[in-house]
Structures are given as structure tokens and as C-alpha cells.
Amino acid sequence: MADGAECYHCKRWVAKGEPHDCWTTTEGALTADLSEDLRDAWERLRETAVEFGEQRIYASHNSIMFSRKACYFFVRPKRTYLEVFVFLPRAIKAPQIKRAIPASKTKIGNLIQIRHRDEVETPITDWLQEAYDFAAAPRNVPAPKAIKPTAKRKRPATATRKKKSARRAAKKR
């Protein structure tokens, strides 16, 4: 039997002593196998996002993340489409939205499937811009409720405690 193990994440066989880091990935690695139509759509999507302003774009596991303070949308390249999740404070009701999934108390992830460059236009670009703006806006999170102090119960004097304790012991006999 060969020395090594199967990676839990990527299911690849890793020989003992072989360096392996399946979490490290790049945009290039995630988009390398895309068809020409999907590659054009990906490039248009990335160009659109870059035009919004300062942000961080990075690959993480099987997604490409776009974030300001937090991720405002991400792309998962699939074989036949680009899966795009846009985080907004609301669920979008439109034919382009496949489903809306609550992501936190303030954000809803709206799923879009893009198959061609021509789909990366209004209203999708408007939703991306809205998500970009929403990611930088201060949150109106309600302040935690104040805790009312409760009246402290007075402890009985030491002599009283001893008497009660003696009475309890006597009752048990």
C-alpha cells in the first residue's frame, strides 16, 4: 500500500511528504477551462466590477470574490454558465434571478446564471453597482437592548442561615 492520503477537499491523492494546498487558487485557474462565450462574459463582468472603484478581487476555493469591507458579489465558474451571487438588502424579483437566499440579517444573496457576454448589461450591472454601494454603507443595526438591573436580594444574616440550616437538618431526621 502506497504512503499518502486522499485530500478531504479536492479528493486528490497526495503522497506522503508531497506539498499540497488545494485551498490556494487563482482567477486564472478557475477560469482556464471556460468556453469562449463564458470567458467573454467573465471578462465583461470583471471589467464592470473594476469600474465601480476600489475593491479587493481574489479567488477563494471555487469562487472569485469581489469585496469592499465584505463580499458584495462572487462568481462560481461552472461548465455551462457563470453562477453569480449578488448580495443586496432585498430579494430581487426578475426573470434573471434563479433564487434568493438569506445570507445574514441584512443581506440576501440573489443567484444569477450568466451564459453570454450580452447578458452582462442592465439590469444586472445596476444590481452589481447597488451591491457595491450597499457594501460600503454603514449598517443601521439596532443597538442591543439595555439590561435592567434587578433588585439584589438581601442575604440573611449569618446567624439566621445557621438556624435555617439546623432546622432543615432536624426535619430530615
Stretches in the chain below the pLDDT threshold 50: 1, 142-144, 146
- The verdict on residue 168 lying in a domain is no
pTM for this entry: 0.68
Whether the CA torsion 94, 99, 103, 105 is positive or negative: it is: positive
Q: How many domains does the chain have?
A: 1
Quote the domain boundaries for residue 97.
13-136
* CATH code, 84: 3.90.1150
- The verdict on residue 143 lying in a domain is no
CB 98 within 8 A of CB 82: no
> In the prediction, which pLDDT does 139 show?
67
Cα distance from N-terminal residue to C-terminal residue, the chain: 71
Query: 89: closest CA among 74, 73, 70, 108?
Result: 108
- The verdict on residue 114 lying in a domain is yes
- The verdict on residue 159 lying in a domain is no
Q: How many CA atoms lie within 13 A of 170 on its CB side?
A: 6
> In the prediction, which pLDDT does 138 show?
73
- The verdict on residue 40 lying in a domain is yes
Give the amino acid at 88.
L
